[in-house]
A = this chain, B = another copy of it.
């Protein structure tokens, strides 16, 4: 008899976006003449950079001729893209990451979801932020690394609380943990970590022989020169950290699909006899067995952003969203709320001082603006909402005017 993976039964159904959608539909039905403005979902709205569009066309043309046709590419990504990434994102920041430590993929969601497969299933101690991108925790629940969910938290997990008290950058646990998820600039809070804070995490991981999974999907929004772009700017991080990056928010690839993961060759993990194994070799084996590379035109488009022209176009797009973010943060601060994010991230995390669904309903019903209730991202998200800067300037300005009137 075929049996299911019963760990799936432990998953708490996430009704967050379904709930939002239900409440929005009810509002729209009751107010057909009041168009809503969506600042909830973290999806880009501006077109692809021109260099990427050109590269997609070039890729399509190459696939149309026998002489330039491309069949299966390397599972790890084409050399031209891996080398562009190594030079543009790492050598440029004095990080000694080589092209063959970079694994190109179709999304940071997939990579951050799949990476746990190469680690042990039982006995691993997980450290996971709260609030959090749900993929980190859900994929570990599916793999059987947690107990049941009790009072909104899975048993056996060390939650890293991100609160107003620690300015949404979690403290290092007092006990050892083995697999640590960190995300900076953070989704959902928009908080960033300083060099000193990251150095303390790297030191903790070294002391405990743990591995940090560092999600840097929003790195393109960092403008503060003192904030590290990569965890590998911290000396020794290549012995304890895997880094996830994406073209989704950097270059508007949410619908185009390309990302990459860095697994340094120095990184080791251990078997039950204490023998060390290369994590790079394990991930390579995983990817070669279960993945078949990224669409060739898409890889060409990703590589295009590393030209001088591409870099300027990417900066223009991210600057645009950051200008939206600054408007939102200023407006919400002027209304008396304390906020984090929006300066080096496209998200503004607002401490509403009340129930997060209540505040969501207030913005929806009084201002016709959709945000995301913080409680949907974890226990510590209660009392907060996330507002996203991904929209047109006109919509952001109109939304802020309506919010100010609604809260007056």
Residues of A within 8 A of B (CB): 1-6, 8-9, 11, 41, 43-48, 50, 52-53, 56-57, 59-61, 63-66, 69-73, 106-107, 109-110, 113-114, 117-121, 123-124, 134-135, 138-139, 142, 144, 178-179, 208-211, 252, 254-257, 269-272, 274, 277, 279, 282, 285-286, 289-298, 392
Contacts and interface: CB of A to CB of B under 8 A. Distances in A.
Contacts of A72: 41, 43, 254-255
Contacts of A208: 1
A72 to B, nearest CB: 5
A111 to B, nearest CB: 10
Contacts of A135: 289-290
Contact of A271 (B6, B119, B138): B6
B293 A257 contact: yes
Nearest to A52: B63
B256 A4 contact: no
B45 A71 contact: yes
Contacts of A292: 106-107, 109-110, 257
Contacts of A293: 255, 257
Contact of A56 (B9, B56, B117, B144): B56
B2 A209 contact: yes
Residue of A1, A6, A50, A110 with most chain B CB atoms under a 10 A cut-off: A1
A259 to B, nearest CB: 9
Given A63-B256, A66-B45, A291-B109, A282 B4 contact: yes
A296 B255 contact: yes
Given A60-B53, A65-B47, A71-B45, A272 B5 contact: no
A60 B71 contact: no
Given A56-B59, A120-B5, A47 B64 contact: yes
Contact of A2 (B44, B178, B298): B178
A44 B117 CA distance: 31
Contacts of A8: 118, 282, 285
Q: What are the nearest 6 A-B pairs in CB distance?
A: A56-B60, A113-B290, A3-B120, A43-B71, A70-B255, A53-B64
Contact of A124 (B3, B179, B252): B3
